[in-house]
């Protein structure tokens, strides 16, 4: 069962960015991380590895975050600043990502299935909205890309894009964007929907524990930090490699063929 401790409104971090309205009447809501979950490759890792200080330093920082020695917020900002420091403008980053980032091969079908079955899809990301929307428009088309709710960070761009820095949604949180606040309001609803959450990485740890059914993406590159975290902390979850697999499970739950509990018990 997800954590059912009542929400303390006072613990809600100050948000510098607005939230989309919540789906009050939905029976099911699918919330998903973007980078490395909906996309096959993490766009911020791609920028850091190719245009910033490189993969070795990036992985070392990821491990520091996992060990609790540095916050995700500070590590992530350091990574992005290494890209800007190498002289890459924000617009250049958007263009590089549009060319290189691909969708999970099952996501389009999954998204359309959700739409047909009244399951809202909300993207919850630590990325910056302009890069995310740019890639989404290229991969999904402008219409579908613009209708999807996205809860993420933003960017402050100065000097014609030569100077840029991430704008955190929750600058006071160690996550920069505490993703749990995309999920928690659903727990307070009179008709609380079943919450699916899909993620793969360190930044998903805050949201992972609040989902009813947590899907953890397993990637071939071995960077499966959320899976490792869930295994170590005994957080029940289902591992998946593409949204095709996930869609089969979501379909069973939405159609009442399997319960969330049965899915978690089977671990599949
Ligand atoms: Mg991710």
Distance (angstroms) between ligand 1 centre and the Cα of 150 equals 14
Q: Is residue 62 part of a domain?
A: no
Q: Of 70-74, 152-156, 163-167, 200-204, which gets the smallest average pLDDT?
A: 200-204
Q: Is residue 81 part of a domain?
A: no
Confidence grade of residue 154 (pLDDT, cut at 50, 70, 90):
very high
pTM (two decimals): 0.93
Cα–Cα distance for residue pair 14/17, rounded to 1 Å? 9
Structure tokens, 113: 């299935």
Q: Which of 33, 49, 204, 225 is catalytic?
A: 33
Task: Classify 40 as helix, strand or coil.
Answer: coil
pLDDT value at position 238?
Answer: 96
Q: Is residue 145 part of a domain?
A: yes
Query: Domain with 232 in it: what CATH number?
Result: 3.40.50.1000
Distance (angstroms) between ligand 1 centre and the Cα of 115 equals 23
DSSP symbols for 104-117: -TTHHHHHHHHHHT
**Annotated catalytic, 225?**
no
Confidence grade of residue 218 (pLDDT, cut at 50, 70, 90):
very high
Distance (angstroms) between ligand 1 centre and the Cα of 240 equals 14
Length of the chain: 268
Q: Is residue 117 part of a domain?
A: yes
Cα–Cα distance for residue pair 185/182, rounded to 1 Å? 7
Cβ(247)–Cβ(104) under 8 Å? no
Q: Is residue 21 part of a domain?
A: yes
Cα–Cα distance for residue pair 261/258, rounded to 1 Å? 8
- Into how many domains does the chain fold? 1
Distance (angstroms) between ligand 1 centre and the Cα of 217 equals 9
pLDDT value at position 184?
Answer: 93
Distance (angstroms) between ligand 1 centre and the Cα of 190 equals 31
**Annotated catalytic, 159?**
no
Q: Is residue 90 part of a domain?
A: no
Cβ(68)–Cβ(205) under 8 Å? no
Distance (angstroms) between ligand 1 centre and the Cα of 158 equals 27
Distance (angstroms) between ligand 1 centre and the Cα of 126 equals 8
Domain span including residue 226: 15-41+102-266
Q: Is residue 192 part of a domain?
A: yes
pLDDT value at position 105?
Answer: 93
Q: Which of 35, 45, 212, 245 is catalytic?
A: 35
Structure tokens, 22: 């919540």
Q: Of 106-110, 226-230, 244-248, which gets the smallest average pLDDT?
A: 226-230
The more confident residue out of 48 and 66 is 48
DSSP symbols for 41-109: S-HHHHHHHHHSS-HHHHHHHHHHHHTTSS-HHHHHHHHHHHHHHTT--HHHHHHHHHHH--B-TTHHH
Q: Is residue 168 part of a domain?
A: yes
């Amino acid at each position: 069962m997800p954590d059912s401790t009542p929400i303390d409104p006072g613990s809600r971090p100050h948000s510098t960015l607005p939230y989309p309205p919540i789906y009050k009447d939905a029976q099911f809501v699918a919330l998903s991380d973007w980078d490395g979950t909906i996309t096959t490759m993490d766009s911020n890792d791609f920028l850091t590895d190719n245009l910033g200080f490189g993969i070795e330093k990036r992985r070392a920082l990821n491990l520091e975050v996992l060990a609790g020695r540095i916050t995700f917020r500070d590590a992530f900002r350091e990574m992005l600043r290494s890209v800007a420091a190498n002289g890459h403008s924000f617009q250049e980053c958007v263009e590089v990502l549009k060319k290189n980032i691909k969708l999970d091969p099952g996501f389009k079908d999954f998204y359309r299935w959700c739409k047909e079955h009244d399951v809202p899809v909300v993207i919850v990301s630590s990325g910056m909205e302009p890069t995310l929307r740019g890639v989404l428009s290229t991969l999904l088309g402008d219409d579908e890309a613009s209708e999807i709710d996205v809860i993420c960070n933003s960017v402050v761009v100065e000097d014609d894009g030569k100077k840029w820095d991430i704008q955190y949604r929750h600058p006071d949180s160690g996550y920069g964007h505490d993703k749990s606040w995309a999920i928690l309001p659903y727990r307070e609803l009179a008709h609380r929907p079943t919450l699916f959450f899909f993620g793969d990485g360190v930044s998903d740890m805050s949201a992972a524990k609040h989902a009813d059914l947590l899907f953890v993406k397993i990637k071939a590159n071995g960077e499966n930090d959320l899976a490792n975290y869930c295994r170590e902390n005994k957080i029940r979850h289902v591992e998946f490699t593409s949204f095709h697999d996930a869609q089969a499970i979501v379909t069973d739950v939405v159609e009442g063929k399997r319960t969330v509990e049965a899915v978690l018990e089977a671990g599949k």
